Amino acid sequence: MTPQPRLRTLPAWKALEAHHARCGGEHLRDLFAADPERGERFAAEGAGLYLDYSKQRVTDETLRLLLDLARAVELRPRIEAMFRGEAINLTERRAALHVALRAARGQVITVDGQDVVPAVHAVLDRMAAFSAQVRDGDWRGHDGRRIQNVVNIGIGGSDLGPVMAYEALRHYSDRRLTMRFVANVDGTDFAEATRDLDPAETLFIVASKTFSTQETMANAQTAREWCLGALGDERAVARHFVAVSTNAEAVAAFGIDPANRFGFWDWVGGRYSMGSAIGLSTMLAIGEDCFRAMLGGFHAMDEHFRGAPFERNLPVLMGLLGVWNCNFLGARSVAVLPYEQYLKRFPAYLQQLTMESNGKRVTRDGAVVDYQTGPVYWGEPGTNGQHSFYQLIHQGTQLVSCDVIAFAQALNPLGRHHDLLLANALAQTAALAFGKTADELRADGTPDWLLPHRVFEGNRPTSTLLAQRLTPAVLGALVALYEHQVFTQSVIWDINPFDQWGVELGKALAGHILPALESGAEPALGHDSSTNALIRRCRERR
């Protein structure tokens, strides 16, 4: 029998539908007017983060029904199954145990009967020793010169986490090291990242879980040639290349000394891997202590997610509010708006985390869903976005929910800058919620003909995440918050957030197109007429 999706048949879901039909249109203006305490009541705190969700379009009743839904889909036992290391990634038959990457020494987490925590800490200790050597100048290049540059080669989870964390924690980084990140197979990425670097002073980290990803392997090969071309000795690879991978054989076949491989495990998904050895570039930049503080932040949020009651549980609340926005209010995208320049790559990082995880159309047992799943994530740091796409969020025809992220303290206090920044962040959430009515505009002297253009409907939902300042621990907590929000939503939508079959087809087709592009003769092109014509055109103009 063809499996059927269950979600919409659940009484808890039907209750939410009925509730939405009754009061889904209520305006935030009225909700705030009716409850002077709303701004204080609709808030929760955990692991150094304060979440204000009072500007989400929910009532006490909405929250009660969403929490009923969480119980109906058995969220609590599903969280436990993840933390216990069960093989919850069903299509790949493995655990999804990123929480073990930040478990405290001595904690016991077993996979297939084996405690994985000692191995996690053994790798962390090796990373720490290696990072200290490089940072202290004890790890030298082939000709004895100090390493001044570190280039991380990787893509997807092997790039986005490292580059985001480096940018986010740059304030804490050793400025003597130049950090670069190469991801794209477009040669420009490599060329621009290395054009001003001296190979004798450059260390490459080849970061790839599988050590078979086409882009990373092409860039690693180019790096090898670039390095050996200058240094002229195969033995230089041992001083200028280290690998981060689960695939020991492929690392050795590439010529990297097995002693220079930092391993991790198949139960760490690529987009969940920044706390593993994939974070080696992060540790090189910020040092062991800051890296461990970041892991501490992750762990604090893990504990909060596992232990806090759902009504005060940040990832659960954010997950449920996201379901409400997506499935009931019709918001198909979430804008992530960090009012913190150091988080400029955070939206890009979240895109892979959220969309590769929850961009799925079938349930865990293969039924085609009859409801929306993961929304589109996007964003830019404030205030830049205000002068770009905020117009659409305020006055466009589609509903976008926003996550505003802000910090009470600046890392670079400069005159009034931080107050200006914070004032903008808070002003935007108020403007999005309450808008500006025709009456208010008239009272301000707006002529009638201009009113339709100047009216702000408001009622645009936002969550505000506030922390004291952007520290390594806060970054860890923030990332873990979104990881667990994604998990919470995947449980509601009954999908597997830990596989990514949707990236396979394009990879396979590229493998077929490459020979057609590279061959000189007119081949019997076995592709569709559009692809054939494009191949021919590219070839003629090469």
Nearer to ligand F6P, 270 or 287 (CB): 270
The one segment of 59-67, 150-158, 225-233, 525-533 that binds ligand F6P by CB under 6 A: 150-158
* Burial of 526: CB neighbours in 10 Å, binned 0-12, 13-18, 19+: exposed
Torsion angles phi and psi, residue 182, rounded to 5: -115, 125
Among 194, 213, 325, 485, binds ligand F6P (CB under 6 A): 213
Q: Does 156 bind ligand F6P (CB under 6 A)?
A: yes
Residues in binding contact with ligand F6P, number by CB under 6 A? 14
Q: Does 496 bind ligand F6P (CB under 6 A)?
A: no
Residue type, 110: T
The one segment of 21-29, 207-215, 446-454, 456-464 that binds ligand F6P by CB under 6 A: 207-215
Q: C-beta of 71: minimal distance to ligand F6P in Å? A: 31
Q: Does 327 bind ligand F6P (CB under 6 A)?
A: no
Distance of CA 509 to the CA centre of its chain: 27
- Measured CA to CA, the distance from residue 451 to residue 190 in angstroms comes to 52
Nearer to ligand F6P, 210 or 424 (CB): 210
Among 141, 157, 338, 375, binds ligand F6P (CB under 6 A): 157
Q: Taking a C-beta distance cutoff of 8 angstroms, is the pair 388, 380 a contact?
A: yes
Please say if 356 is a catalytic residue.
yes
Cis amide prior to 373 (ω within 30 degrees): no
Among 210, 351, 372, 532, binds ligand F6P (CB under 6 A): 210
Nearer to ligand F6P, 55 or 209 (CB): 209
Given the residues 14, 417, 507, 512, the one annotated as active site? 507
Q: C-beta of 152: minimal distance to ligand F6P in Å? A: 12
Q: Does 500 bind ligand F6P (CB under 6 A)?
A: yes
Q: C-beta of 20: minimal distance to ligand F6P in Å? A: 35
Question: What long-range pairs does 372-376 form, CB within 8 A, spacing at least 24?
Answer: 372/326, 372/327, 372/332, 373/493, 373/495, 374/489, 374/493, 375/322, 375/325, 375/326, 375/331, 375/332, 375/333, 375/334, 376/332, 376/333, 376/334
C-alpha distances in Å from residue 172, one per residue of 20, 271, 472, 542: 46, 23, 8, 45
Given the residues 37, 387, 518, 522, the one annotated as active site? 387
Nearer to ligand F6P, 310 or 498 (CB): 498
C-alpha distances in Å from residue 475, one per residue of 262, 290, 301: 23, 11, 11
Among 48, 85, 263, 270, binds ligand F6P (CB under 6 A): 270
Q: Does 224 bind ligand F6P (CB under 6 A)?
A: no
Q: Does 383 bind ligand F6P (CB under 6 A)?
A: no
The one segment of 92-100, 101-109, 153-161, 319-327 that binds ligand F6P by CB under 6 A: 153-161
Q: Does 158 bind ligand F6P (CB under 6 A)?
A: yes
> CB 96: neighbour CB atoms within 10 A?
24
Among 21, 503, 509, 533, binds ligand F6P (CB under 6 A): 503
Please say if 209 is a catalytic residue.
no
Q: Which two tokens stand for residue 128?
A: 């720490």
Given the residues 167, 215, 340, 356, the one annotated as active site? 356
Q: Taking a C-beta distance cutoff of 8 angstroms, is the pair 189, 219 a contact?
A: yes
Residue type, 155: I
Q: Does 276 bind ligand F6P (CB under 6 A)?
A: no
The one segment of 89-97, 205-213, 250-258, 361-369 that binds ligand F6P by CB under 6 A: 205-213
Q: Does 263 bind ligand F6P (CB under 6 A)?
A: no
Q: Does 279 bind ligand F6P (CB under 6 A)?
A: no
- 3-class DSSP assignment, residue 223: helix
- Measured CA to CA, the distance from residue 36 to residue 541 in angstroms comes to 67
Q: Does 216 bind ligand F6P (CB under 6 A)?
A: yes
Please say if 299 is a catalytic residue.
no
Q: Which two tokens stand for residue 123?
A: 């790798």
C-alpha distances in Å from residue 501, one per residue of 123, 209, 212, 358: 29, 16, 16, 12
| Residue list 340-379, contact with ligand F6P (CB under 6 A) | 356
Q: Does 209 bind ligand F6P (CB under 6 A)?
A: yes
Nearest Cα residue to 54 out of 437, 489, 429: 429
Q: C-beta of 405: minimal distance to ligand F6P in Å? A: 23
- Measured CA to CA, the distance from residue 239 to residue 244 in angstroms comes to 15
Nearer to ligand F6P, 157 or 382 (CB): 157
Question: What long-range pairs does 390-398 form, CB within 8 A, spacing at least 24?
Answer: 390/428, 393/335, 393/432, 393/460, 394/431, 394/432, 394/435, 394/456, 394/460, 395/456, 395/457, 398/331, 398/332, 398/333
Q: Which residues are catalytic?
A: 356, 387, 507
Q: Which residues bind ligand F6P (CB under 6 A)?
A: 155-158, 208-210, 213, 216, 270-271, 356, 500, 503
